[in-house]
Chains A and B, each alone.
Chain A
Amino acid sequence: MAGDAGELVAALRAGDEAAFARIVQDWSRPMLTLARGFVSTQASAEEVVQETWLAVLKGIDRFEGRSSLRTWVFRILVNTAKSRGVKEHRTLPWSSIAGDEAGPGLDPALFQSAGEPYPGHWRAAPSAWPEEVAVEGSVLAGEVRRELASVLETLPDRQRIVLTLRDVLGHSSEEVCELLGISQANQRVLLHRARTAARAGIAAYVEGS
């Protein structure tokens, strides 16, 4: 086992409570987001995360270090969540893209149609955003952040989960594909829809205020 991962595992085995508290704190966010992709309620997802941590505690002595500790923990989580999802008769179709996700992400009415002077070009350019939108700590950035949080709530489950893992929690596309068992192409479609909706949410907010 290499470097830090080995130290962390050793600390957990030795009963280092602070080390355990820290990974519970750091990893439970993505775990909860992932679990929600396989079970039907937030409460159920929370139970899956707790169950996973208990399995980790019981199994840490058997962990062989072939993968990183985090990968091992996340795999236990996905397996736990999947079996619970089956019991709840909940199946999100991760491997296929629904028909409503195959078309354009952005409203086609924003672009000129065939009979107009510049088909496929913007009818009107997107309105400029005030610079403060991306200035961390500004009042507007705070408002936009809250707006985005509510846009996230309205997204279809799969889009919300992929967007949260990728852009909110910062996981790599490789990791997200592996954990959810989806292809790069499918992940990109879901991410694209979700990002398009997120940008449109900010645009609507900025233009309306």
Chain B
Amino acid sequence: MADLPCRQVVEVITSYLEGSLGWRERRRFEKHLRGCDACSRYLEQMRATLDVLGTVPVDTLSPEAQSTLLEAFRDLRH
């Protein structure tokens, strides 16, 4: 089985993490990682990136908009 070059490994990393690689491709990917420190590090950094992404704040409705909605709720449901 041909080895997967690093350049392709980094492009299938999301498929790997999503569990959407076929078993053959998955085996090639994992075999490559066992012998390649650079790609192993890249995968580790991708996982760290996902951890940090989970802590990024996201905009929500302004407090004004939220209180307008609560008023509408009072008017409609009481």
Contacts and interface: CB of A to CB of B under 8 A. Distances in A.
Interface residues of A, number: 60
B1 interface: no
A119 B5 contact: yes
Contacts of B42: 126, 199
A106 B13 CA distance: 11
Nearest to B57: A149
Contacts of A122: 6, 38-39
Nearest to B38: A125
- Majority-rule SS of B interface residues: helix
Nearest to A137: B55
B70 A33 contact: no
Given A119-B5, A148-B52, A28 B38 contact: no
A9 interface: no
A199 to B, nearest CB: 4
A106 B11 CA distance: 8
Task: Name the residue among B49, B66, B70 with the largest chain A CB count within 10 angstroms.
Answer: B49
Contacts of B55: 136, 141, 145
A202 B20 contact: no
Interface string A171-193: 00100000000001000100110
- Which 8 pairs from chain A and chain B are nearest by CB? A120-B5, A125-B38, A192-B14, A15-B77, A167-B53, A134-B48, A111-B7, A120-B7
Interface of B: 5-8, 10-11, 13-15, 18, 20, 37-39, 41-42, 45-46, 48-62, 65-66, 68-70, 72-74, 76-78
